[in-house]
Amino acid sequence: MKDLTQGKESTLIVKFAIPLLVGNLFHQFYHLADSIIVGQFLGKSALAAVGVTMPIIFTLISLVVGLSIGFNVIIAQYFGAKNYSKVQHTVDTMNIILLISSIIFTIIGLIFLNPILSLIKTPADIHEQAAKYLSIYFIGLIFFFGYNGTSAILRGMGDSKTPLYFIVISSILNVLLDLLFIAIFKWGINGAAWATIIAQGVSFFWSVIYINRYHHFLKIRLFHIHFDQFIFKKSIQIGLPTALQQSFVALGMVALLSVVNLFGTNVVAAYSIATRIESFISLPAMNFAAALSTFVGQNIGAQRLDRVRTGYISTQRIMFIITVCLSAFIFIFSTSLSALFTNDIDVIQISKDYLQIVAFFFVCFSAMFINNGILRGAGDTLIPMFITLFSLWVVRIPLAFILSKPFGYYGIWWSIPVAWFFGMTLSYLYYKTGNWKKKTVVNKEIVTSE
């Protein structure tokens, strides 16, 4: 646990963000290694099949992940207010919701798997492999939801180091199981899915054991669970816009992928490779935004708005420097990085084109995420949701469709940075209004009542 209401703001945010960043680097390392192993051992068709499944999986899990973010904000604010009984009530309520949601999404995913793949125009030569991968992945969704819940608990209490350890072990186990199941047992694309499920299950159970053993005022339990209606309603108010935002973002990725799919397997494979690499450069912004959200939540709970503004400015400055350096690296080494996944010259060239177009617009992406981070930490998620949906569904997707007609897949690539610019501008303008300060969950009346 870490109290973020005392000490130098920039130092606290950096120390909190680094374990998050390292942990997600390991998580992305798994995805990267998974793609490399699949691409090198099973070929570009299998690689494209895995790439096709990613937006679909993200769509189905985004609602639950968004809800866990809502609970994370509440945990951070109650923890900052030193109201530990409410922290326990929040955890109990969250676990009930996540368990029910995971079961529902598993059933939905298994029933509508093939219709969804057909809807997004998945190329015929990779449809069967994509269906196999998805069907196995859905079986293990309960572990993914459970681990996201335990991570939200720990981060809300200022602990970003412990989830790092779980992610490191899970990522290493994932890679080892990938090699075992794919290279040795010859299970094909099924092996990649089973490796993911097993690794996520290990992380989930270990995190539950850790929380129950080392946090005296907090337990993850099956019996005597307290469902708090007020906390549930607040989590819905905070988490649902974020969940819907992520869900519609994921659906947007599916819609974008349906445009990409029209250009054939080579472009789909290149898109899969480029977005894997892109996910690395986006990690610092996403994790510093998450750190800022927890920092903001705790300080709002402690009635320290002065520290909130200082933390926001410091985070934006840090991220600008980091993003410029990473963008230059991606631009220079785009060919070499793409070649890690495949030996196909055409696929490598298409992936390189994508990366070099979007590379220096990641400054807009980073600034947008930091803006959303401070708003989310305050509990204001509705307006950021509308801004994100506008940038995606009004700007990026229509632009991708329109530009792909005269410019081919280059038009799709250019639609992405344009949407980032709109998102950055609109989120900053809303931050400047100050309306987010009125959305706090914990106020004096709530803190003192039981």
pLDDT at 320: 94
Other beta carbons within 10 Å of 405: 8
Of 449 and 381, the one with more pLDDT: 381
Cα 162 versus chain centre, distance: 18
Task: Determine the Cα–Cα distance for residues 25 and 366; give it in Å rounded to an integer.
Answer: 16
Confidence band, pLDDT 50/70/90 cuts, at residue 105: confident
Name the nearest CA neighbour of 366 among 264, 274, 273, 288: 288
Contacts of 297 (CB under 8 A, 6+ apart): 72, 73, 76, 77, 80, 156, 377, 378, 379
* Domain spans of the chain, in order of start: 9-443
**pTM, whole model, 2 decimals?**
0.70
Q: Would the pLDDT of 1 be above 70?
A: no
Length of the chain, in residues: 450
What's the mean per-residue pLDDT of the chain?
85
Task: Determine the Cα–Cα distance for residues 372 and 423; give it in Å rounded to an integer.
Answer: 10
Task: Determine the Cα–Cα distance for residues 148 and 420; give it in Å rounded to an integer.
Answer: 26
Q: Is 442 helix (H, G, I), strand (E, B) or coil?
A: coil
Confidence band, pLDDT 50/70/90 cuts, at residue 423: very high
Task: Determine the Cα–Cα distance for residues 41 and 288; give it in Å rounded to an integer.
Answer: 35
Burial 433-450 (b: 16+ CB within 10 A, else e): eeebeebbbbeeebbeee
pLDDT at 447: 38
Is residue 382 within 8 Å of residue 241, measured between CB atoms? yes
Burial of residue 228 (number of CB atoms within 10 Å: 0-12, 13-18, 19+): middle
Is residue 231 within 8 Å of residue 93, measured between CB atoms? yes
Quick: pLDDT tens for 110-157: 998 899 888 877 888 889 999 999 999 999 989 988 988 898 898 888
Quick: pLDDT tens for 254-308: 788 888 888 888 888 888 888 888 878 888 998 899 889 888 888 887 778 888 8
Confidence band, pLDDT 50/70/90 cuts, at residue 383: confident
pLDDT at 351: 92
Confidence band, pLDDT 50/70/90 cuts, at residue 446: very low
Segment 9-29 shows an average pLDDT of 83
